[in-house]
Amino acid sequence: MSEYSFTTTHTVPGTFARAGVIQTPHGSIQTPVFTVGGTKATVKTLTPEMVKDLGGQTILANTYHLMLRPGADIVEKAGGLAKFMHWDGPTFTDSGGFQVFSLGVAYKKGIDAVAHTEKGKADNAKASAKQLAKVDDEGVTFRSHLDGQTLRMTPESSMQLQWQIGADIHMAFDECTSPLASAAYLRESLDRTHAWAKRCVIEHERIWKEHKKAGKPYQALWGVVQGARDEKLRRESAQFMASLNLDGFGIGGVFQPEEIPETVRWVVEELPDDKPRHLLGMGNQVSDLFLGVEYGIDTFDCIAFTRQARNGGLYTATGRINITNAKFKDDFTPIDSQCACYTCKNYTRAYINHLFKSNEMLAYTLASIHNEYFVVNLVDRIRESIIDGSFLEFKKTYLATYFGKPFTL
C-alpha cells in the first residue's frame, strides 16, 4: 500500500481523542481535520486557492454526482480529481451510498426519518413512486435527478468509478437507512451493506493490481459502519468491517448530535486503533466537532457550513448570526472580531448585509470564506489542544462561550 499510512502521535487520557497523520500520494493530512465538501469537484463559490488559503487540507467529492456530470471518464482523462479541479492536496470520494437514502426514502421529504413508524406508513405508500433510488441485493437503480435517466450502481461499479475519479481515499458502497427503520429492515440493510463491502474489497484489490502494474499510486479504501441507533448492530458492523483489513473506516447514518457520544463509542470500541475513522456528513454543529473528536473521530465532512453561508448564516465565537437581519445594516465591525479570515480582516457586517440584500454573488463567496475558515480553524485548534494536553479544558471553555452557558452533553 505505497504512499498511504496512518500514525497516531498524541492521545488524551480518559477519552478516545487523538491526533495523528494520514499519509497519501498527494500529501499528508494532520488529524483531526475538517474535510471541506467539494461535492461536484468544486467547493461552492470558492476557488481551490481560497480553500488552501483558509487552511483546508483535503476535499471530499461525491461519486454519484461526478458520475452524472461530467462523467468519471472525463475526470480520469483530466488526470484525476485533484488535477481536474486544480487542487494539489489530498482528496476523498464518498461512494454514492448516501444517495441511496437521499434519493430514496428521504427524497424531497416524501419519506423521512419517521417513514417506518405507524404514522409514516401512509406517507411511505404515497411517496414510494416518487423515489429516485430503488435498492436490491445486487445494487441500486437510480433515476437521475438531472434528466430522469435510469442508472445502475453496484459495489463493483462504485469502486470502478472511484478509481477513475482518482481520489486518494474511497468509501465502500453502503446503504444508509432511515434512522427509525423497522428492526427487520435494519437487519436486512446491514447484511446487504456487509455483503457489498466484501464485494468492494474484491473489486478494489483487482483494480489496484492493474494500477500497480502501470506504476500508478495507491488509492485507499475505507469501509462504512452502519446500524442506525442499535448498539448490537453498530458493534456487529464495526467488527465486520474490522475483519476486512480495510485502510480506514467511515461511520455512516443519520442521527442527532446528542447521539454522537453513545453511537460513536459503540463503533470505536470495536475498531482497530491503527486505522483512521471518518464521521460521514457530520459536523454541522460546533458541538459535533468536539464530541466527535472526544469519541475518536479523525476526519469529518459536512457541506452545511457553506450552505448556511449562502443563506446568510454565519458562525462566530459567541454563536451563529443571520447577517441579513436589519440590525447589521450599519454595523461596521467584522463578522467576528476574533476571526483572522480574509473576510473578517477586510469587510464589515454592514457591507456583507448589503451584498445579501442586493443579491450580489460576492456575498456568497465572502460568507463561505468565513464559515469554512471558522470550522477548519476550529478543528485545527482542537488538534493543537490534543497535542498540548489542554483538550478537555479547551472544549469546556470554548463551548461555554459559544452557547453562552456551560455545555453539559
DSSP string for residues in 176-188: PPPTT--HHHHHH
For the domain covering 5-97+153-302, report its CATH number. Answer: 3.20.20.105
DSSP for 322-371, please give it.
ETTSGGGTT--S-S-TT--SHHHHH--HHHHHHHHHTT-HHHHHHHHHHH
Tell me if residue 301 is catalytic. yes
CA distances from 142 to 147, 226, 261, 263 (A): 11, 21, 34, 30
**Angle 349-357/361-388 helices, nearest 10 degrees?**
140
* Residue boundaries of the structural domains of the chain: 5-97+153-302, 314-403
Alpha-carbon distance 247 to 2, whole Å?
Answer: 12
Q: Is 94 a catalytic residue?
A: yes
Residue 114's pLDDT is 36
Which among 173, 94, 105, 103 has a CA at the least distance from the CA of 138? 173
Of 53, 94, 136, 388, which one is the catalytic site residue? 94
Active-site annotation holder among 174, 230, 301, 336: 301
Report residue 138 as a C-alpha cell. 445486487
Task: Write out pLDDT tens, residues 318-335.
Answer: 999 999 999 999 999 999
Q: pLDDT per residue over 205-254, tens digit each?
A: 999 999 999 999 999 999 999 999 999 999 999 999 999 999 999 999 87
d(CA 288, CA 300): 10
pLDDT in single tens digits along all 409 residues of the chain = 458 999 999 999 999 999 999 999 999 999 999 999 999 999 999 999 999 999 999 999 999 999 999 999 999 999 999 999 999 999 999 998 776 656 655 445 443 433 444 444 445 445 455 677 788 999 998 888 788 888 899 999 999 999 999 999 999 999 988 777 899 999 999 999 999 999 999 999 999 999 999 999 999 999 999 999 999 999 999 999 999 999 999 999 877 778 899 999 999 999 999 999 999 987 678 999 999 999 999 999 999 999 999 999 999 999 999 999 999 999 999 999 999 999 999 999 999 999 999 999 999 999 999 999 999 999 999 999 999 999 999 999 999 999 999 998 8
Residue 142 and residue 153 in contact, taking contact as beta carbons nearer than 8 Å: yes
Separation of alpha carbons 353 and 337, rounded Å: 16
